[in-house]
Amino acid sequence: MVLWTRLGSDPLQAAGLTATPLRVDWEIAEDAAMSRMAARGSEMAIPDLAHSVHVEARGLRPGREYWYRFRAGDAVSAIGRTRTAPAAGESLAAFRFAFGSCSQYEQGWFNAYRDMAANELDLIVHLGDYIYESSWGVKHVRKHTGGIPTTLAEFRDRFALYKTDRDLQAAHAAAPWIVIWDDHEVANDYTDDRSPVMQDRTQFLAVRAAAYRAWYEHMPVPRTALPQGPDALIYGRHRFGDLLDIFALDGRQYRSHHACLPGTSANPLVDCPDRSAPERTYLGMKQERWLADEMRRSPARWSVIAQPTLMAEADRKVGPEHAYWMDGWDGYAAGRRRLLETLATQPNRNSLVVSGDVHAFYAADLRIDPASRDPAVATEFVGGAITSQGAAPATIANVLAKNPHLRFGRADKRGYAVMKMDTKRCDVEFRAVDNEKDATSATGTLAKFSVESGMPGVQM
């Protein structure tokens, strides 16, 4: 496990703490009262990492709950709850985790995070857009401080602003997290070393380096994710006994640049032959090969691919013509086909894809050729958005009508998803906030689905 905290006398001012290292003591206990100690130690919180602490605790028992806290001087943190993964190969009867994305601070309260914290989860998976660099949308309930961040200090302040939210704090303190990023942690619709809003490559890579560094400083990730300039390794496999492998992917750092676009914006719906060029890759060839090798070797009953955006093809053009959004998987058709062909070779046929980014709930059958009647090779679920506003109902109705493999779609509600699997089936619940503009609003069930072991495809 990785335990995270950050010291700050004034969290919203990056330079608000002493410029000297500070000692932080940590304790892990077997009970919520912190009376039965399991491990303890200390770390130095250094200015170079914004006085953040990443504790990689060792020697704990597998597959059980623990509680933890930090001390620095006379300050004591709240108590958090976490859970170690089961031992590799251990027989696991069931596992239950939440996944979500797209938490624009201004557009709503974090009711969905509060519901996660109350939901007795084994794990929370965040699929990106944990922060937003820009201000957009309508009916803001609160405001970002400062403009669009481009420096390390500014990105630190933006992360700290989001971290002040009590419901987000509660979700982090309720369960372990797996986190990946999408684009808004850096710049909207960026691809590798190119940003639609910043034409100078050197300038943009400096922004990316600052953003990646601030992301590391504010996330419960291991030291292997510490950036080296504008580069950071965040993809990896997470194993939970013999039941589940989660493959957390990086869909931004290594991808090919946008195809087919007339300018720098990724918003126009377009199509062209280059969209399907065989060399185009969403994950980068190295990550593609790694994932294919890991998937072939996976002994788990279920394999979950956790990645940023809708993988299923989505022809979005109104009318008989075809057009696609180039920033999603549709702009990387050959890379998607290679991945789906890998999933088709899985002996237990239990591949699931969990996705975010598109500010909508979707459930989809994934086929190598979506226009065919071939059996699905995997099943995809998109877990809505924590707060970020979605498309109009007419837009979603058109997408569903033109893409029958998209079995369900809603963008009028904010929320997240819960996935529970055992040896026979996987159940998915979409949970929606009644009104994200109301801090007291409740969260409830929007829809439920299941996937039977060995039978890919959505069951409504």
pLDDT by residue (tens digit) across 310-325?
999 999 999 999 999 9
What mean pLDDT do residues 190-206 have?
96
Q: Which residue, among 109, 110, 162, 107, has the nearest Cα to 138 in the 3D structure? A: 107
282, 335 in Cβ contact below 8 A?
yes
C-alpha span between 372 and 194 (Å, rounded): 35
**pLDDT at residue 23 is higher than 90:** yes
Residue 420's pLDDT is 98
Q: How far is CA 231 from CA 132, 248, 291, in A?
A: 20, 17, 19
Pairing of strands 37-45, 75-76: unpaired
Residue 364's pLDDT is 98
Confidence of residue 16 (pLDDT cuts 50, 70, 90): low
pLDDT per residue as tens digits for the range 125-173: 999 999 999 999 999 999 999 999 999 999 999 999 999 999 999 999 9
**pLDDT at residue 346 is higher than 90:** no
What mean pLDDT do residues 322-351 have?
96
Q: How far is CA 282 from CA 127, 250, 330, 394, in A?
A: 15, 9, 10, 29
Residue 117's pLDDT is 98
Confidence of residue 88 (pLDDT cuts 50, 70, 90): confident
Torsion, Cα of 181, 183, 187, 193 (10° steps) = 90
**pLDDT at residue 14 is higher than 80:** no
C-alpha span between 109 and 414 (Å, rounded): 10
Q: What is the greatest pairwise CA distance in the chain?
A: 67
Confidence of residue 15 (pLDDT cuts 50, 70, 90): low
- List domains and CATH numbers for the chain: 1-84 (2.60.40.380), 90-459 (3.60.21.70)
pLDDT per residue as tens digits for the range 351-405: 999 999 999 999 999 999 999 989 999 999 999 999 999 999 999 999 999 999 9
pLDDT per residue as tens digits for the range 252-306: 999 999 999 988 888 899 999 999 999 999 999 999 999 999 999 999 999 999 9
Q: Which residue, among 222, 228, 167, has the nearest Cα to 52 in the 3D structure? A: 222
Confidence of residue 12 (pLDDT cuts 50, 70, 90): confident
What mean pLDDT do residues 205-229 have?
98
- Percent pLDDT > 90 in the chain is 94
Q: Across all residues in the chain, what is the average pLDDT?
A: 96
